[in-house]
Amino acid sequence: MNSPQENTKFLENLNEEQIKAITLENQSALILAGAGSGKTKVLTSRISWLIQNQITSPTGLLAVTFTNKAAKEMLMRVTDQLPIHTRGMWVGTFHGLCNRMLRIHHKEVNLPETFQILDSSDQLSAIKRLMKAMNVDKETFPPKEIQYFINGKKDEGLRFINVKPYDPHSKRVNEIYGEYEKQCQREGVADFAELLLGCYELLKNNISIKEHYQQRFKHILVDEFQDTSELQYKWLKLLAGKDNFVFAVGDDDQSIYAFRGARVGNMQDLEKDFKIKNIIKLEQNYRSKNNILNAANAIIDNNTNRLGKNLWAASGDGDPIRQYVGISDYDEANYILDEIKMLHRGGLNYSQIALLYRSNAQSRVLEHAIVSNNIPYRVYGGLRFFERAEIKNALAYLRLISNKTDDNAFLRIINFPTRGIGARAIEQLQDQAKKNNCSLWEAAKEIESQNENIQKGVPFFVRLIKNLEDEIQGNSIAESIESIVIHSGLKDHYLKDKDGIDRVSNLNELVSAAVTFINTTEIENEALTLVEFLNFTSLESGELQASAGDDALQLMTIHSSKGLEFDAVFITGLEDGLCPHEQSLSESDGLEEERRLMYVAVTRAKNKLYLTLAQSRMLHGQTRYNLPSRFLDEIPDQLVKKLNSMKKQDVILSTTKTAPRSESKHELKIGSSVAHQKFGQGVVTGYKGDEKDLAIQINFSTHGSKWLLMEFAKLTLSLIHI
């Protein structure tokens, strides 16, 4: 038996609220743990306290995390605190624990003991194979769309027999779901979604098994509770029953995965379902300075239905938050790089500096500035812009058109998007090229000339490339890319993909890259323009991408930054339409989710926080003008040092569009900030018509883009500083 002093050793250096949470008597609890408040330490110390005080045995509790890394870290910390073996403990992810339970009870769910788990790519292959056997057209029913549907319904807890189709198309999709389930049963395999649904049904339909686990696991601990889905919460409720205790640690202000099925309302349901008497709030932050925390508090306070907390630190206020408004996205990027170089000269490692952005497409301009300054960098949780599959695919079409002997480009796109050219056909093509000592293109042309009326396979591909070549003749590079993306089928292909919107945004950004290249590059021979651009893209994806562990700038989306921390953080592109993202404004709870994203971004910074935006930004090959992000207005002025305070109407902006002469009469330039009685504040983005019938296009912060007749618009010039 350990001494009382040993019993409390792991409670040293903890604050009052942390100790209160760790030492709770037998009761369910909701620990509202703010960013940087030491939640992992609280969770592991709770496990140690329960075991040390013989409230439960190591095998009498179950702990759920969201990553295998977090589960391993939890077990490692427990063994550091207690002299116990963790081998028999049930600590892991939802999928890991469900897999363990299903293997024990495989007979009850009609699976073999040695059932195989299908990862995402294996599942997609299985769906494609099934659809071929069912003679289902892949164009009408894209396999990825089917995969998304199946996993979505399983996450909702619905088998195919429970789904109610609403039209012939959805009926056919559901039939594929039904046949897919039969195929998995027949082959003895389970996908990731099946692990959770199968385990939920196991407990729901087998009272004796449910009671066995309820008696065994009296204490259930859950990390990152705000990220649980509806089905995960239902499984936890079945496991806990009426008499067991749930210790949930989470932060409703950091719930940013609604697109993955996370349901922030689970936290409030837990409070009600488990009759939680009081919520313990961990508000002392051990990561950031108070200026940063106060900004985060002020932003998130604008959300409704929060459980509520207020972060604070004992480490002082720190430096003011710096805000910079660039004239353009390139000006914004250049400012960021100047600051980074200064920070590095001051002794800060590159790896302690993070550049955050709302969407992946924003990384291109930043990457260009980084490469130009010869600074090593790493795109965390993703690929560099010019290495992304959709970009490489689009460029491969350009490469083949410009150089018919480029076999690598040929092989990359001959069957992408899919056009019925199998591995055997490609192999025969390669044999033919080798025999004739020619390029794959020449070999393909020979096949095409012999099969003039065939509308598929290799002949179709050859004609597609010829048509694309004719289509872009005389076009600019930007126009050529736009044409290729559409007529090759790339855009339609990606729009059917689960992550399609992000990929299409990247393709649009490639158009912007081409426009910028032409505007900023001196080219002596116009005929070499396309070649020079392709060379530029290769150089931009050079060798500055660092490996994990190297000292390098960290670039990432805000979503990818969750759980990380850095000495200095730059949050870029803080404009309405980007952050918050324009798509969120039309979604229920969309703006609140975006605000939680901003909260997560701000709380990644330990010592220095930079907020940057651009007055004009190249999007989809066109210069756009956006209002500053509404989140900037939510930060108290005393926390922010504004490095420039330009007035929109005083800035002369370059644009491909020319305003009519009557513009000066109304004192409105493109980029001017105006106010409307009904629609509120907006930015002038364009004009059309003549002096007598002049219409003005305005991007309003709350009502989107609108065309108004100047004569009746009754606009006033806004003098708001940004």
Amino acid letter for position 470 = D
Distance CA 442, CA 592 (A): 56
According to DSSP, the β-strands at 605-619 and 622-625 are: antiparallel
Answer yes or no: are the C-beta atoms of 506 and 385 closer than 8 Å.
yes
Distance CA 722, CA 715 (A): 19
Answer yes or no: are the C-beta atoms of 628 and 308 closer than 8 Å.
no
Give me 700's structure tokens.
């309003």
Distance CA 551, CA 549 (A): 7
Catalytic status, residue 210: no
Distance CA 707, CA 713 (A): 10
Distance CA 254, CA 496 (A): 29
Amino acid letter for position 313 = A
Q: Which among 148, 141, 144 has a CA at the least distance from the CA of 173?
A: 141
Q: Which among 144, 173, 138 has a CA at the least distance from the CA of 158?
A: 173
Distance CA 570, CA 560 (A): 14
Coil, helix or strand at residue 153: helix
Distance CA 665, CA 691 (A): 10
Catalytic status, residue 86: no
Got the DSSP string for 168-221? HHHHHHHHHHHHHHHHHHHHTEEEHHHHHHHHHHHHHH-HHHHHHHHHH-SEEE
Distance CA 86, CA 70 (A): 15
Catalytic residue among 224, 339, 448, 593: 224
Got the DSSP string for 539-571? HHTSS-BPPTTSS-EEEEEHHHHTT--EEEEEE
Collect all residues with Cβ–Cβ distance below 8 Å to 533 and sequence separation of at least 6.
Answer: 398, 477, 514, 517, 518
Give me 668's structure tokens.
């409105």
Phi then psi dihedrals of residue 703, to 5 deg: -120, 10
Catalytic status, residue 144: no
Catalytic status, residue 331: no
Catalytic residue among 52, 93, 228, 254: 254
Answer yes or no: are the C-beta atoms of 232 and 257 closer than 8 Å.
no
Cα distances from 686 to residues 478, 624, 699, in angstroms, run: 21, 10, 9
Phi then psi dihedrals of residue 386, to 5 deg: -80, 0
Amino acid letter for position 128 = K
- Measured at the alpha carbon of residue 643, what is the angle toward residues 520 and 577, in degrees to the nearest 5? 65
Catalytic residue among 8, 20, 23, 40: 40
Distance CA 301, CA 511 (A): 39
Distance CA 31, CA 156 (A): 26
Residue indicated by tokens 């059309």: 688
Distance CA 433, CA 657 (A): 49
Q: Which among 715, 719, 718, 721 has a CA at the least distance from the CA of 696?
A: 715
Cβ atoms < 10 Å from Cβ of 166: 8
Beta bridge partners of 700: 682, 704
Answer yes or no: are the C-beta atoms of 237 and 273 closer than 8 Å.
yes
The single-letter DSSP state of residue 61 is: E
Distance CA 406, CA 402 (A): 9
Catalytic status, residue 407: no
Catalytic status, residue 445: no
Catalytic residue among 378, 491, 503, 604: 604
Q: Which among 320, 299, 321, 297 has a CA at the least distance from the CA of 310?
A: 297
| Residues with catalytic roles | 39-40, 223-224, 254, 604
